[in-house]
Amino acid sequence: FLHRYLLDGQAIETVWTVIPAIILVAIALPSIRLLYLIDEIHNPALTIKVTGHQWYWSYEYSDFDDIQFDSYMIPSNELSTGMYRLLDVDNRMPVPYNQAIRLMITSDDVLHSWAVPSLGIKMDAVPGRLNQSSLLVNMPGVFYGQCSEICGSGHSFMPIVIEAVGESDFLKWLEL
């Protein structure tokens, strides 16, 4: 039997508690700073409300004439050439690029999560709660995302598509 009478080691236990604690504090300080910076006020030009449902998203642009629409995934058997399976939707969410946008995200039924990885955004859609997030798309294009909180059988079939368009085209779209 090796070390049968080895009962404690105060020195080593102190070292392997204190050193990791110092390392964790060194990681935490910049991390907490960034966390607070994320919530800075940035005077958004536009507020969009996103509501998660089973199993689609709906968007409201209530700053302008109460525009509201649902966004359903295009079923695989209705895809046209060039469309992405399980990612493309019937009504995309247009936003102007290079403009600060406020997103208010909630859910109508169960937990969902609104995530678009290429824009670095993910926010839970919680029923009875309004979660705020900010969005600034610095380049035009089409950005895809998917629901990121298990919400039933259609969880994998409620994608998100954002179109970052020019300001003038966005204003034209609003008037439709």
Partner 1 sequence: MSEVAKLPKPQLRGLLTSQIKRNLVFGAVFAFVVTAAYKMNINDKRKIKYAEFYKNYDPQREYEQMKKAGIFQSARPE
Count of positions on this chain that bind partner 1 (CB under 8 A) = 18
139 binds partner 1 (CB under 8 A): yes
Q: How far is the CB of 139 from partner 1 (least distance, A)?
A: 6
Beta-strand (E) ranges in 40-79?
A: 46-53, 56-61, 67-71
Q: How far is the CB of 99 from partner 1 (least distance, A)?
A: 12
CB of 62 closer than 8 Å to CB of 101:
no
Q: 142 to 161, contacts with partner 1 by CB under 8 A? A: 142
- Return the number of the residue (3 or 33) whose C-beta is nearest partner 1: 3
104: nearest Cα among 131, 80, 70: 131
Residues in the chain: 176
Stretch (H or E) spanning 97: none
- Cα–Cα distances in angstroms (integers) from residue 14 to residues 20, 22, 116, 156, 160, in the given order: 10, 12, 44, 48, 50
Looking at residues 46 to 105 of the shown chain, list those that interact with partner 1 (rule: CB under 8 A). 91-92, 94, 97-98
Q: Which of 20, 75, 117, 141 binds partner 1 (CB under 8 A)?
A: 141
> Site residues (CB under 8 A) for partner 1?
12, 91-92, 94, 97-98, 138-142, 163, 165-166, 169-170, 172-173
